Structures are given as structure tokens and as C-alpha cells.
Structure 1
Amino acid sequence: MSPYYYIDRPSPFSAEGVAGKPVYAVTPEDLEAGSTDPAALAWARAAGFKADSGSFLLVPGPQGDVASALFGLGSDPAEAPFATGKLSRLLPQGNWRIESAGLGPAQLTLGYGLGTYSFGRYRADKHRDVQLSLQPGVDRGEIERQLAAVFLARDLVNVPTNDMGPAELEAAFRALGEHYGATVTSIVGDDLLAHNFPLIHTVGRASVSSPRLLELRWGEKGHPRITLVGKGVCFDTGGLDIKGAANMALMKKDMGGAANVMGLALMIMDASLKVDLQVLVPAVENSISGNAFRPGDIYRSRKGITVQIDNTDAEGRLVLADALAYADETPPDLMIDMATLTGAARVALGTELAPYFTDDEDLSRDLMEASRQEADPMWRLPLWMGYDKDIRARAADITNSPSGGMAGSITAALFLKRFVTATKRWAHFDIYAWVLAEKPHAPVGGEAFAIRALYRVIRQMQAG
């Protein structure tokens, strides 16, 4: 099992065989039908408990002790599939087990586990001695694997850039690879030019922390080849087209794509999936100094496509372009890239729904089915070639920032598509990587998007 990174977290689950007091997770319909413990049901009726989503009621025993608890799922539990995350903050100390007539024990358990997360690197959080006993049939290893992946992504995004610049992101990347016996390499600073990664070098050269391309290889040749590419912009000032203070405040999260593919890679390696895995992270800081790249500059990419810089704040697609072109030179069976790329994606789908782009109908169908099965929301947006004309530049092959501002997430995806020409199965995810308002299973802060669903898809395509 992978260690938790940055914070030494105790397991949220009891040791095997430890009994726990019951928490009855119920809907209003369950109360109406009487399909729960009779003593708990009588107490619920006496206390006026309605089983609204997130509601909680302790049930006393005959000696005045706590015998059980009731937790409301609401009339439509699908609206808050991981509502049980709230229990990690409501239950008194001790061992508990969740019982439900409607929801599967794995989902209830995962929700509870997700809710135990806290980010305590810079302050000491008081430990609550509450653990959950697992129901029969729940795969403890699988649940803990997914929790470790999500918590890794959350941790990496939450750490501020003074402790998570390109060099520190490389250290975390190496720690992950070394734990699973992967091969990890990096190309740093001016060596990027020698190895033909000019756009990665261009974006990151103004920072005191050198730009770099990180690569992890794991698994056996001959198995399905999976390539994951994550945008690793550890901080984005916007460059010379500098952001305003309000828009810069959360830019430590601009490496959220890297954090998410690292979490996904953790699950793949921890489960020993029969795949040939490659993970690429262009790690840079988009900073300002005398050698920062400028609006109006033109650079030749690894693929040979020339790019006109019309906005230095459209830097993520530049570093991804070189990494995607490199991966595409030996086409994998599946390529996924993840990036906190455009505000336009947030305008289109908000902050909670992960948009993705692909031309592969079968892959899209698999992604949507996995999204439904895992309650890991995503939605397809079109790679509409009618907008491809908008990324053409006056003095170069393409621009990194089309004028007009319309369909910005689509034109960004079409920009990336120019660098993926040989790989048949490719999907681009434009994620937010942040929770703006507390959820039952997630505090405000860094978040994993779509990686549990992607893990399901990759698990299904592994070599038999």
C-alpha cells in the first residue's frame, strides 16, 4: 500500500474482526417502511428525525449509553453519493459500521473514508479516535488505494508553491515512482533545449526554479500502453500578461493536472495492473523576469509547429504541447492528459463537473459509463473542427490565444489536438482541481477529478 504523502494519516478503518456500533443510513422512505432497527426507528419517530440528507441522530441504549446512530440519505441518495463522508466528523469516538438497505457498502465506505481527509501540514489538527468497521464484501485494499490516490492529489494541490515548486514536485514524483519500483527521469533547465522541448523551456525559464520534464515508466512491454500527461504549472502569475491579484490567489493549484495523473498512476501501480505505464509531467513556474517570454514572440515546438504567443497567460497548452508530441512519437494504446487549462471550461460546466474532449466514440462511452458507476462526474464537450480556423495565427502556424474569447475550452483542446496525430485513443480533461465550498466528503481545497473513473476504464483494458 502506498504511503500517504506529506501527512502521516492513521487508517480510518478498524482492524479486521473488530465489531462496531451500527449507523443506519436511511432515506425517508426507509423510515416510512420501517426497514431499519425497531429501537432506532422508534427513537427516530420520537425525536422527529426525517432522514434529510446529512441529518444525524444518536440513539441511546437502555443504560444511557450510545447504542447506535441514524444518518439521513435524503429522498435521492444519488444527489449526494458520498454523503457518509460527513459521518467522520459527526460520530463520537469508537468503532462504527454503516448499514443501509439501499446503498452498497463499498460506496458508503468510500464516502466515509473521503470525509476523513484534512490538510494538516502547517497546523496540528486534533485527532478524532473514530474508526469504521468494514462490512463483508468490501475490498479494503481497493478502498484504501482510492483514498490514497485522492489524498495524494489533494495534498499536492494544497501545498503552497514555496514548498511545491518544480523541484519539489519532482521530489514528490520521484518518491511515488520509487515506492513502486518505477523508472523516473527528468530533463532540467537548458537540457530541455538540447532534447528538443523548447516550449517547456520557454514557459519556465523566468523562474528561479528551473523548468523540467518528468517521466515515469512502470510495467511490462507487451501490455497495453497507457500514457498520462499532467500539466505541472506550479504557479502561474500569468507571465508578462500578469493576472490580477484575485485571479492569482489560487494559482498554486495550476499543477492540479500533474497532481491528478500522479494519483491515477498510484492506483494503477498499487493494483499491479497489467499495463505498460508512462507518466509525463512538464513542471514549470510561469514567472516574470528579464528573460520571460513575451506577447508577440514566436517559438517552434517539438513537433515543428510554430506558435505565436498572443497571451503569456495561455501557458499550460504550451508545456502540454511538447509533452504530448513526445508521447505521440511512440503512440500508446490510450493517452490521457489532465490540466487546469481554461476558465471557459468553468463557465461551460461550473467547478464540479470535469469536461473532457475526445474523437473516440467508444472511449467516450466507456468514460461515461465509468463516471456513472463510480459517481465520479464528467461530461463530454465537442472537438468542433469548425473552430480550428480560430487558432490560426497571422505570422506563425497557430496562436496560443485566439482573439474574441469565444469557445475557449474548445479552441484550447483543438490546439492540443494539433500535437496528437498518431495516437488513436486520446482524451483531454480540463479540470478545476479545487473544491470551492465544503462537501460532505471533501473540504475546501485541492481535489481529485475523474481519476477514479479513469482508473476503472484502464483496469478494464489491462492485459488478461
Structure 2
Amino acid sequence: MTPYQYIERPSPFSAKGAVTKPVHAVTPADLEAGKFNPTALAWAKAAGFKAEAGALLLVPGGDGEVASAFFGLGSDPSEAPFMTGKLSKLLPPGDWHVETTALAADHLALGYGLGTYGFNRYKSDKQKDVRFSVSEAADSADIERQLAGVFLARDLVNIPTNEMGPAELEAAFRALGEHYGATVTSIVGEDLLKQNFPLVHTVGRASASPPRLLELRWGEKGHPRVTLVGKGVCFDTGGLDIKGAANMALMKKDMGGAANVMGLALMIMDAGLKVDLQVLVPAVENSISGSAFRPGDIYRSRKGVTVQIDNTDAEGRLILADALAYADENPPDLMIDMSTLTGAARVALGTELAPYFTDDEALSAKLMEASKEEADPMWRLPLWMGYDKDIRSRAADITNSPSGGMAGAITAALFLKRFVTATKSWAHFDIYAWVLADKPHAPVGGEAFAIRALYRVIRDLAAK
């Protein structure tokens, strides 16, 4: 296979002026009200259509061809705002439009668009050519921009490590930057030590693909400075504290933080937001060889803080530490880091909510408002300083893996907080980056978490 490059997918939406067939997206109450073509309504009642969430009924015309369709939203459409994602899989090929619905125009179109995604890089199957007409009430350009960002994140996570190692991730990172005229640089291998990124080098040095720190700069100085940092562990064996086979099966997704910040960066650059953007991705593979770092080792970080390695499987926070310290040397107005960091975050909130940590109350309020408006779920967990004592080490300043196993997501966030001391507005996202069971708008596989809401927050910041 050829290396992954940033590509523009065909639009899932109908061309302007296309002849389209109607889909009636309805609740049971809408059916009772009966404000439809009498013949179509009679067909729906005869077929026993109840408007259950996700149910589709095709309605024939006088010539026997499909003339329209009913699509069920259930009794409370707000419970599944992107239910229209199922339409791309259920409708026959052709051009369609929604004629009546309780859904907001943007959510309707975005849900449909998200549902068109398929990861077909290694398959010969072709998707159905179902296209949807976007209502004039929706911002079609911004919807396509968000779809592109989400699909980029999904693709990068879904591609296996044999084609998405550190070098290949750099190629995708560079392609994204070049597409938008950004400046992209990288520090690779032994140069990491020369330029004082010792923890990035330590974690990745055992791999055949050298570790690297990727940096993208875009925008104009004088605009609000936004820094995005994404964990890029392209595969995580656990190192010498090796994972079991079952726990290693999905470790291609351990670069999900990098994939998500790249998808978010795409949205920002494509929208031409007035920000001074910096994106940092420490890209490594946590492998096992004679040069692998060991439990009990102690390393000095870029910031000068010494770290004792008590578990080589707690590697993500190490590479993030150097990247965050570098960004913090020239404090941005807003810093966001994203990573698939801890299983404890999944124990706390499951796999569908994006946990985040911040000390900035104003930022947290904006995040929660954007989460609600964009139907992009997240939830705040506490940076509880009472647990800071748990990351202290007898032999070094801090440990990368506190004993006891309690509050693991919080202690990991507190570890990172040690490296963000000058930046006033910072949030850490501990995401899953994967969908375990098919959803109307997302198949099983890599997923974007919280980046649509973050895009809204950054868009608002840029507009001030």
C-alpha cells in the first residue's frame, strides 16, 4: 500500500440543483399528526411503520419506483442527534433530501455525513452512492470541514502500525501541513538528545523506526496563540513491562491523541481562523530490544524534572512531558493536549465520554457549553492536588507510575501538570479514540473525540 497522505474525499452531499427524493424524518407524534401526502401516510400505516429510532420505510410511487421514504427518529430525537447517519446505509442509491424533521439542520446534515464514513483501504467493497441535499439553513462548508477533520482522525487511527509507524505518521503530518501552507519540522533520533527532548528519545529508542518530535506552525503572529499536543505512540507493546496479547490487540490506536489534534488542526486551518497555531506530536513506538528503557531507570526531562520509571507501560505521559514543557517555554493563550493515556479514565467514564482536566474555570465552562451545542460529549474530572503526593518518588522528583492503582487518570493528569507551569489556560484530554460497537454515525474503529467542540471553542477565541 502507498503511504497515507491527506486526501479530500468526495462530498457525501448532492450537487446544487440536483433532483432529490424526500425523506420524512419523523417521530411517532408526527405520524399521528398526519401532515404528509395521504397516499404515503396510508402506506406507512398499512406497513405498520411506528417511527422507531432508525427505522426506514420506502414508499413506492405510481410507477412502482421508490418515490420517498419515512425515517424514524423515536419519541425523543435529542437522545440520538446523529441518527440520520443510518440513512447512508439504508437508502437506495441516489439523491435525497429531508422534507420534515424535528432535528436542527446542522445536526441532520452532520449526522448523515458522519454515517457515510467507511474504512475501505484494505477492502474491495464499494460504498453505495447515496447523496444528501443540505438545507440552506445549514452551513454546508463548515459541515464538510468538520467531516474532513473527523475522517482524518478516524483514518489515522484505523491504519495498522505496519503502515502508520513514526515515519509514516510524520509523512501524514507533513502532507496535512503542506496542504494548508503550514511550516512543518521534525527532530529525529539522536538529535532529540542534542536538542533536549530526552524522554521522547527514551521511549522510542528501542524501535527500528526512530522516535521524533513533529511540529507544525500556521497562522500569523499577533493572533491568539493556540498549541495542540497529541500523543503519538504508534504502537505500544508496554515495553519491558509487556502487555498481554489481549491488551495489545488495539494498540495501533495509541496514537489517537495525535490523530485527533491533526483532525482539529485541519478544521482550524481550513476555516482560516485568526489564530497563531502550533501543533506538536511526539511520535514513537514503544518497542522491546536491547536498547529499551527499563523499570527503575531514572531520566531527566526537558524541564529538568527527574522521572523514575516504575512501569515502562506508562510511556505516554513521558513523551507528552517533553512536548508540553517545550510548548510552555513560550506560553500560548490556550494549550490542549490529547492522548489515549489511561485505562482508569475508561473505568471512570466508559468509552463514549471524553474526560478532560483543567484548572481554568472559564475554559471549562466554554468546553461544556460547546459540548452540549455540538453534541460532542465530554466530562470534567478533577485535578485533585491531594493526590499529588502519590506521584512523588524517593529516588527522583516524580514517578511515572504511582503504586496502588487508585485515581490513575487523575495522577496521570497531575504528572503532566508538572510540565505546564507558565501557560494559564490548559486542558488535558484522556480519550479512548475508538468505537467498540457500531453507532448510526460511527462504525467500529478509530474515532474523533471532542474535536468538534474544541473547534467551536477555538473558533470563538479567534473571533474576539
Write the mapping of 1:376-387 to structure 2, written as runs, cut at 5 A. Answer: 376-387=376-387
Q: Distance in 2 between matches of 1:108 and 1:69?
A: 16
Q: Is contact 1:203-1:284 (8 Å) kept? A: yes
- Residue of structure 2 equivalent to 1:44: 44
Write the mapping of 1:34-113 to structure 2, written as runs, cut at 5 A. Answer: 34-113=34-113
Amino acid at match of 2:218: W
Per-residue deviation, 1:109 = 0.8
Task: State the Cα deviation string for residues 8-40 of structure 1 (Å, max 9, x = none).
Answer: 742211111113101111111111222444333
Amino acid at match of 2:279: V
Q: Is contact 2:6-2:176 (8 Å) kept? A: no
Q: Which moved more, 1:4-13 or 1:374-383?
A: 4-13
- Residue of structure 2 equivalent to 1:246: 246
- Residue of structure 2 equivalent to 1:410: 410
Q: Is contact 2:6-2:175 (8 Å) kept? A: no
- Residue of structure 2 equivalent to 1:151: 151
Q: Distance in 2 between matches of 1:260 and 1:267?
A: 11
Per-residue deviation, 1:130 = 1.4
Per-residue deviation, 1:100 = 3.1
Q: Distance in 1 between matches of 2:102 and 2:55?
A: 17
Q: Is contact 1:232-1:256 (8 Å) kept? A: yes
- Residue of structure 2 equivalent to 1:201: 201
Q: Distance in 2 between matches of 1:209 and 1:295?
A: 22
Task: State the Cα deviation string for residues 116-160 of structure 1 (Å, max 9, x = none).
Answer: 111111112223121111222222211110110000000000000
Structure-2 change in CA distance of 1:8 and 1:457 (3 Å): closer
TM-score, normalised to structure 2, is 0.98
- Residue of structure 2 equivalent to 1:425: 425
Q: Is contact 1:230-1:257 (8 Å) kept? A: yes
Write the mapping of 1:232-311 to structure 2, written as runs, cut at 5 A. Answer: 232-311=232-311
Q: Is contact 2:206-2:292 (8 Å) kept? A: yes
Write the mapping of 1:172-191 to structure 2, written as runs, cut at 5 A. Answer: 172-191=172-191
- Residue of structure 1 equivalent to 2:215: 215
Amino acid at match of 2:295: P
Displaced runs of 4 or more, over 3 A: 4-9, 35-39
Per-residue deviation, 1:101 = 3.3
Task: State the Cα deviation string for residues 235-268 of structure 1 (Å, max 9, x = none).
Answer: 0000000000000000000000000000000000
Which secondary structure state, in structure 2, belongs to the residue aligned with residue 370 of structure 1? helix
Return 5+ residue gaps in structure 1 as ranges: none
Q: Which moved more, 1:13-22 or 1:349-358?
A: 13-22
Q: Distance in 2 between matches of 1:383 and 1:45?
A: 55
Write the mapping of 1:359-374 to structure 2, written as runs, cut at 5 A. Answer: 359-374=359-374
Per-residue deviation, 1:463 = 4.6
Q: Distance in 1 between matches of 2:447 and 2:35?
A: 36
Q: Which moved more, 1:27-36 or 1:290-299?
A: 27-36
Amino acid at match of 1:263: G
Amino acid at match of 2:209: S
| Percentage of identical aligned residues | 82
The size of the alignment, in residue pairs, is: 461
Task: State the Cα deviation string for residues 18-73 of structure 1 (Å, max 9, x = none).
Answer: 13101111111111222444333222111111111100100111221211001111
Which secondary structure state, in structure 1, belongs to the residue aligned with residue 85 of structure 2? helix
Q: Distance in 1 between matches of 2:36 and 2:340?
A: 44
Q: Is contact 2:241-2:312 (8 Å) kept? A: yes
Per-residue deviation, 1:99 = 2.8
TM-score, normalised to structure 1, is 0.98
Which secondary structure state, in structure 2, belongs to the residue aligned with residue 427 of structure 1? strand
Which secondary structure state, in structure 2, belongs to the residue aligned with residue 99 of structure 1? strand
- Residue of structure 2 equivalent to 1:228: 228
Q: Distance in 1 between matches of 2:35 and 2:204?
A: 60
Write the mapping of 1:320-331 to structure 2, written as runs, cut at 5 A. Answer: 320-331=320-331
- Residue of structure 2 equivalent to 1:31: 31
Q: Is contact 1:275-1:463 (8 Å) kept? A: no
Which secondary structure state, in structure 1, belongs to the residue aligned with residue 162 of structure 2? coil
Q: Distance in 1 between matches of 2:463 and 2:51?
A: 45
Amino acid at match of 1:171: A
Query: What do you get for the CA RMSD once the two structures are aligned?
Result: 1.2
Q: Distance in 2 between matches of 1:125 and 1:433?
A: 25
Return 5+ residue gaps in structure 2 as ranges: none
Q: Distance in 2 between matches of 1:173 and 1:370?
A: 27
